Amino acid sequence: MSDGSKQGGRRGDKRAPPGRSGKRPSPGGAGNRAGDGHRGAAGEAKPTGHAAPRFAKAVSLPPSRPQYPDAWTAVVTPAAVNLVTVGHPWLFSGALQTLDAPTGADREPGGLCVVLAPDGRPLGLGLCNPQSQISVRMLGRLEAEQAPSTLPTLASLVISRLEAATALRRLIGRPAPDRTAYRLVHSEGDALPGLTSDRIGGGASVLVSAASGLRMLPIVADWLMGPGGCTFVVARAAHDAHPSEGLGSGTLLRRGVVAAEGAGSDIQQVQVGQALFTVDPAGGQKGGIFTDQLDNHLAVAGLAKGRFVIDAYCHHGGFGIQAALAGARRVLAIDASQKAVEAAQEAAKQSGVGERFEVVCGDAVHLLADLAAGVGAELGRPDLIVLDPPKFATSKDGLDDALRKYSHVNATAMAALERGGILVSCSCSGRVDRTTFLRMLGHAARRAGRDLQLLELRGAAMDHPSAPVHAEAHYLKVAICRVI
């Protein structure tokens, strides 16, 4: 494991939406974020193989339908009209009757695309990649009276959405003196599909997951370094982006000076509440900090006063450090990565709770199993356990195995808890939907011989907006339970 990442990888995977057949897949169907997604972020569905997408059989189209010489033109199937009008941000190739290239010179992936109903009515604007199974990623609605000659430019669309995203963050208190890390752009949730951006201290990290995001990247970077007020921008390609998106790997763009004043490397210090974290926007996973969990760290901390807390799969120690700051009598943080536990320990010292914050580099399940079996009884039983593991469901075929892993980890934690203790169980795997996740927790409780009370079910932070119909964006589940 590298970059202080969690065991086995991390966030952002998302189930694919109703696909080429028009039928919703079973829970855990194709696709990764992120979402993310994370953490939600914002990964997208990744079709297998490299075959060019096939479109639905063409039907007779109105000869008078609008012509858009400077944009792709996609005509959706009758069944897909509702998908567009209710706000789903993806159109798979099977949802299209026809896809016509611009008559102008620009036919590169990620170009503007006008989406029409079968009767020729304009439905919306998107960004097109004819090589991807997600053929069109929607930008928004298009007024019926919009003339081809008055189509907005991509730059104007992107800038207006960046301004809207910034206004939304201000509405919910981002940034603030005690919140200098947050999600500024959340891909489809902010109508900028295929691209996420986190504000990290004085600058921004950008993750590109699709050709649409790559096309928008120079505009986004210019805005961030100008009106956005950033001192640096670092953009990277998502490691799990499908080859059809044409992103390559590694750093895509770097502007400004990433290192904080006086620092000898690419690091920034950020504040979340009273906690201080040193992050690496250029090399750390997802910009160095999982912004989708920051609100959850603070929420769980409200339950920690006077408790012995275990933060399992701790990464930079966000849950544990906030718990210590809220009055936990003792915190034990566990991760399989030596780099991760060292970063967590340093953050605890910077935050002033180092004396109540211990770290262990090792397998969280083994340690919890020992506690459940009474080994190391001098530690005592924990009163609050947080489980924030990596995505276990990395493929549709692996869903059953992933659920067994989730069940085993959760049952072991329940058995280790004091009766009446609190379990905070997280899953960042979009292939495991909420219903399946909660059912798994019930099976784990039965396996552990315990009863479970669900106190609250949370998701990603408020700065991770999504369309209500975009189930793939609701990848993060955080169940706060009482174990009795």
Active site residues: 428
Q: What is the CA radius of gyration of the chain?
A: 23
Number of residues in the chain: 484
Max intra-chain CA distance, the chain = 81
Backbone conformation region of residue 327, classed left if phi is above 0, alpha if psi is from -120 to 50, else beta: left
Q: Within 13 Å of residue 128, how many CA atoms lie on the same side as its CB? A: 25
Contact present, 166 and 228 (Cβ < 8 Å)? yes
Strands 308-312 and 384-387: parallel
Helix (H, G, I), strand (E, B) or coil at 346: helix
Backbone angles phi, psi at 478, to 5 degrees: -130, 100
Q: Cα–Cα distance between 466 and 473 in angstroms, integer? A: 6
Can you say how many angstroms the Cα of residue 28 is from the centroid of all Cα atoms in its chain?
A: 16
Q: Cα–Cα distance between 233 and 378 in angstroms, integer? A: 48
Helix (H, G, I), strand (E, B) or coil at 100: strand
Identify the DSSP state of 8: T
Identify the DSSP state of 3: T
Helix (H, G, I), strand (E, B) or coil at 365: helix
Q: Within 13 Å of residue 186, how many CA atoms lie on the same side as its CB? A: 31
Structure tokens, 11: 């966030």
Which residues contact residue 124 at a Cβ distance below 8 angstroms, ignoring those fewer than 6 apart?
84, 114, 115, 138, 139, 140, 141, 142
Which residues contact residue 267 at a Cβ distance below 8 angstroms, ignoring those fewer than 6 apart?
258, 259, 260, 278, 279, 280
Can you say how many angstroms the Cα of residue 372 is from the centroid of all Cα atoms in its chain?
A: 33
Q: Cα–Cα distance between 260 and 189 in angstroms, integer? A: 30
- In order of 19, 73, 75, 77, 123, the CA distances from 99 in angstroms are 17, 6, 7, 11, 14
Q: Cα–Cα distance between 410 and 406 in angstroms, integer? A: 6
Strands 111-116 and 72-76: parallel
Q: Give per-residue burial for 93-102: e unless 16+ CB within 10 Å, then b.
A: bbbbbbbeeb
Q: How many CB atoms lie within 10 A of CB 152?
A: 15
